[in-house]
Amino acid sequence: MSEPLTKVDSAVQGLSSSPPKEKGHRRTSSSAAGVMNINDLGRKINSSPMTVDDPSILKIHLTKPPVKKIDLHFPLGMEVTARNLKGVTIKDAMDAIYKAYKKRADDELDNPYLAGFEWDKEESWTRLVVHLQKQPSASGVGGGKKKKSKKEEESSAIDGALPIGQNSPQRPAHGLYAEKLSGTSFTAPRHSNQQTWLYRKLPSCSHPAYQPCGGDDDEAKRMHYLPNQLRWDPFDHDEARHLDFVAGLKRVGGAGDPALKQGFGLFVYAAGRSMDRRDAFYSADGDLLVVAQEGPLDIRTELGWLLVRPMEVCVLPRGVRYRVKLVDGMPVRGYALELYQGHFALPELGPIGSNGLANARDFQAPVASFDDDDDDDFNHDDDDDDDDDGYGDGFESDPESPALNSYAITVKFNHTLFTTRQPNSPFDVVAWQGNYYPYKYDLGRFNTMGTVSFDHPDPSIFTVLTAHPHPSPGTARTPSDRPGTTATP
């Protein structure tokens, strides 16, 4: 049991039984002799194991070889038993611990976090000692994600890459370039100002001029305003199996105009293949809120990875480049809302009080992770079509073309797609700090409010995120301020 489990930047790869090949920008778990290091899960002993970021981790056998029954002994003398006729797994052990502690509040536990298991040599190797700790592992909580709060966040993939006491030193460490990504104007009020400093290997502007590559159909830009209630059938997976996320993102409604920075767009997406590992996309029109309905999305952003599963939502801010991979080739389908004006924010709680609905502590941001040009993070072994070369629409696969050694960057600007190529990876941010970054939220953590007496409250009690500002305080931004329209997802 001394072989450590390891954590990698992408939660899709989960935890493995042996450390990956060491790379300077990978984050690995600490190891301790005789202890199985699952402390990277950051699990509280009074929380359900089903809330882990990657449920496949729970299927790993707790011991090698597997055993059908094992006792788990706590330092203070308490003991629980985990059983499974097919072999006790991590889930079986965590379930047994959870059943023993689920009625205990956090403040009742001196050491609430699970640190790992160790064979009890005094009992002839027939039981495991459970190790606990006061704080979660420093290497990460929740599968390589960080909690989002109102204060600024920061993350670094290499020690010393993040400047101390300043934002733009004359010579950043490791030969990096400092860039500022602004989500608001520089002079926006302090409480609403959103910006993040990025420290990357090469400037993001080091590429040729963008050229139009589609999506500029005037008919597609024009909205048809109808007084009828409209519904759409789900997009067919068969029709979308050759499409990646960008090609499968279709606008079906909305209001306003991104050129005027007013309104929003409603999208439905369906995809059957991953974006190529040398493709990246971003929108200059607005922040994109993605609601995963079927199939998980493994999204690599400039600031790090986000694994978005069904029953989770994520927000990809305007100007942040990203690339979407399908997990195990599983087709995906879902919804998206692009906000042309302002940014998504938590709603005011009013009489609800200080807690309720979506809590800020449950939003998660990515950990810094940069891409080596020879890093093969994205492959297409999961593609079903042998003729599929892995490249998105508009880029033909030509073995003799030098373009195959470059990266294609596509931007959506006023509903028109533009593209350029650059020799270096866009995912070269080694460290970042600020309050403008992509994030995700598990809808299972939403604290629903309702009536206990009579009648039915308005649907606004289910608001996760809303759009500000609006001339009337507490009101979500709408494109026309007509009754019955709303920008609240």
Which residue numbers are catalytic? 456
Distance CA 355, CA 240 (A): 41
Phi then psi for residue 278, to 5 deg, are -110, 20
Q: Token pair for residue 103?
A: 């009625």
Count CA atoms within 13 Å of residue 433 on its CB side.
Answer: 11
Q: Are 406 and 422 in contact (CB under 8 A)?
A: yes
**All residues at 6 or more sequence positions from 145 whose CB lies less than 8 Å from its CB, including other chains:** 11, 53, 306, 364, 365, 366, 367, 440
Cβ count within 10 A of residue 5: 22
What is the residue whose two structure tokens read 């934002």?
167
**All residues at 6 or more sequence positions from 313 whose CB lies less than 8 Å from its CB, including other chains:** 289, 290, 291, 292, 440, 441, 443, 464, 465, 489
Q: Are 212 and 202 in contact (CB under 8 A)?
A: no
Distance CA 191, CA 75 (A): 47
- What are the angstrom distances between the C-alpha of 68 and each of 82, 84, 90, 92, 431? 8, 5, 13, 10, 45
Beta strand extents in 272-317 (DSSP E only): 279-283, 287-294, 297-301, 304-308, 312-316
What is the residue whose two structure tokens read 């966040």?
153
What is the residue whose two structure tokens read 């009020």?
189
Distance CA 147, CA 168 (A): 25
Closest C-alpha among 327, 302, 318 to residue 245: 327
